[in-house]
A and B are shown apart, each in its own frame.
Chain A
Amino acid sequence: MTDKNNVEKNTGESQAKPYRSKKQLIAIIVCAFVAACGIGLWMFQLAGGMVNTNMRNLDAWGLYIIMFMLFVGLSAGGLIVSSVPKLFGIKGFGGISKLAIWTSICCTILAVAFVVVDLGGPLRVWHLFAYANLTSPLMWDIIVLSLYLIISIIYLWATLRSERGQGTAVALRAISAIALIAAVAVHTVTAWIFGLQIAHEFWYTALLGPWFVSSALLSGLALVLIVAIALRKAGYIKLESANLIKMTRLLGVFCAVDLYFFACDLLTSGFPGGSGGEVVAMLTTGPLAMFFWAEIIFGICTIIVAFTPALRKPGFITCAAIFSVLAIFAKRVQILVGGFQEANISYPTVSSGPELSAAGKTLADVGGALIYTPSPLEIGLVVGVLGLGTFLLLLGLRMLPLKPVEEQ
């Protein structure tokens, strides 16, 4: 409480100072360069054509949409970690609230960026406003994601203001509530892009909405943990181990819920046999088995670390957090590639099956069965977008007063 009094006495003067160092500046410049290279690759993709990606008519989406799903999810953690304690008046997780919101904002921007690089006609983005078709889940997602980004920015601004003793606690709590609702909405609506498509049996399930929320909580909290541990090591924040352990236990709970949903979904698909059984076979023993078992094993490792007191050390926690993000990445690959893997109508014809997917044909020639793997251009562009994200994250640390007030 002394901190708060102190803040109030110095109204108008920011207590938290931006953090600057030479290493950080170099990192920012490197990231800006990587992002610029990414823009170059994007221009190449637009000029030379998306034929340079491995996406084709039979697997119309690829790595960009996998990353879009992943980053919408990653953006969840920050908002949840900072808004839930404020909203319900419970004790928070130490001074990482502002940092968590900034991480969340960066992830949301990246999610939007991944959709933009996936578009065939980015110069026609204004059509979304001019000709909006409100029955499209993609339109819903664009609306909710935009609102989510705006709300996150307002939320960060309100948090910074309240630290300086401006604004009321009630207002901050109200914004926390809105931010939390927006977070749940954005994950559910992202799931609906897939979950409402009756054309793909693997996608068409009511569970997908809640499941995206649980996956988002898992990967998002994991990202906050990774960032917090890294910044603690760099001396930017002081985070008590008790808070770290609290978050790790929560990570374990989220992971257990996510795997529970997975088990429910597998049983529901597989139990009647038939085409649902084929979906289960595709995941467990078929072309996507690698991603399926990766998710399961990474998930179990996370749970072991989270619920074994002796293992809750920063090193293990970092591993568990990285495993969580990898598990959700593996899940996203399953959803996307798995959705396109089994064609509804696959009779032999002039161009069908793997021939409609460049990577599928290449892989089939070497004995593989996956319909899609990303091309070098796609991987390069993803690295570029990730560069942009790290650039934004570091720039925020440098320019914004994100350092916890408690540490001053």
Chain B
Amino acid sequence: MSAQRLGMVVDTKRCVGCHTCAVTCKIENNIGDGVFWNRTMTVGGDSIDSASGTYPNLSKHYITLACQHCENPACTRVCPVGATYKREEDGVVLQDYDKCIGCRMCIAACPYTGVRNFNWEEPQHSIGYDVGDADAPAHQKHTVEKCMMCAHRLARGEEPACILGCLAKARYFGDFNDPQSEVSKLISSRTYKQLQVEDGTNPSVYFLV
């Protein structure tokens, strides 16, 4: 067991589906056009923000999907060069762009659809200049990238940007190995779900339902 198991709790009862966490992430990490490391998904009807059911019995909520920083990641095991790896001290799953050979095995192995992005071309920025944190690693063409839990911010003792960006205060960050942490208390007091539990990855992102 790693010393820490950093992760997130997302309260789907508070989430209003505003996409601000996704955009904050995009700005913070200077993510290229058309790429999202974190996406707000509508659990309801067939299109964004639509509900399922018939009025007045409608149902809709949101989940935000990014790398789940699994305790038992499928991706780190399959990477032939160890470019994606779990950091032992805090359990964060990282990606080393300089090592990645672009074989996309990790994308094939990850059960969480679309959280890993391969830069199919030179990353473009529609506003014409770089944004975000200077410490965030620069993107590289033909390598795989994903949410790294803002490792550059963690190094400075700060929380990931999406936590700060959440307007509804639906996102929490902390160490699941510390029973006194806010996230541990939340999942011990509230009903939660994890995604794709049947794949045995034990994701470190919990959704309060």
Contact = CB atoms under 8 A, between A and B. Distances in A.
Interface of A: 46, 48-51, 53, 55-58, 60-61, 115, 118-122, 124-125, 127-128, 130-133, 135-139, 142, 193-194, 196-200, 339-340, 343-352, 356
B82 A350 contact: no
B20 interface: no
Size class of the contact patch on chain B: 35 or more
A48 B100 CA distance: 19
Interface string B79-115: 1111100000000000000011111110111111110
A129 to B, nearest CB: 9
A55 B102 CA distance: 13
Nearest to B85: A133
Given A128-B80, A130-B81, A350-B48, 12 more contacts: A57-B116, A61-B104, A119-B101, A122-B101, A127-B101, A199-B110, A199-B111, A199-B199, A343-B113, A345-B195, A348-B46, A349-B48
A125 B102 CA distance: 10
B143 A120 contact: yes
Given A120-B101, A350-B19, A350-B40, A136 B118 contact: no
Looking at chain B's contact residues, is the secondary structure mostly helix, strand, loop, or mixed? Answer: loop
Contacts of A345: 41, 65, 112-114, 195-196
14 contacts: A49-B120, A49-B121, A50-B142, A57-B107, A57-B118, A58-B114, A132-B81, A133-B80, A135-B77, A136-B79, A346-B113, A347-B42, A347-B43, A350-B48
Contact of B142 (A120, A132, A139): A120
Given A197-B108, A339-B108, A347 B143 contact: no
Contact of B105 (A138, A340, A356): A138
A133 B36 contact: no
Nearest to A115: B103
B63 A347 contact: yes
Interface string B178-209: 00000000000000000110011000000000
Contacts of A339: 108
A136 B114 contact: no
A115 B46 CA distance: 37
B22 interface: yes
Chain B CB within 10 Å, residue with most, of A55, A130, A193, A344 = A344
B164 interface: no
B50 A348 contact: yes
A347 B102 contact: no
A73 to B, nearest CB: 19
B56 interface: no
Contact of B114 (A55, A193, A352): A352
A128 B121 contact: no
A136 B101 contact: no
B171 interface: no
Contacts of A135: 77-78
A115 B48 CA distance: 37
B141 interface: yes
B12 interface: no
Contacts of B107: 57, 60
B40 A125 contact: no
Given A51-B121, A133-B80, A347-B43, A198 B101 contact: no
A349 B48 CA distance: 6
Given A51-B120, A352-B39, A197 B100 contact: no
A125 B99 CA distance: 10
Given A60-B118, A199-B74, A348-B50, A120 B112 contact: no
Nearest to A139: B80
A348 B74 contact: no
B36 to A, nearest CB: 6
Contact of B79 (A56, A60, A133): A133
A304 B122 CA distance: 52
A200 B108 contact: yes
B142 A121 contact: yes
A192 to B, nearest CB: 10
B109 A199 contact: yes
B108 A61 contact: yes
A238 B146 CA distance: 59
Contacts of A352: 39, 41, 113-114
A348 B46 CA distance: 6
Given A119-B102, A121-B100, A345-B41, A350 B22 contact: yes
Nearest to B47: A348
A297 B113 CA distance: 34
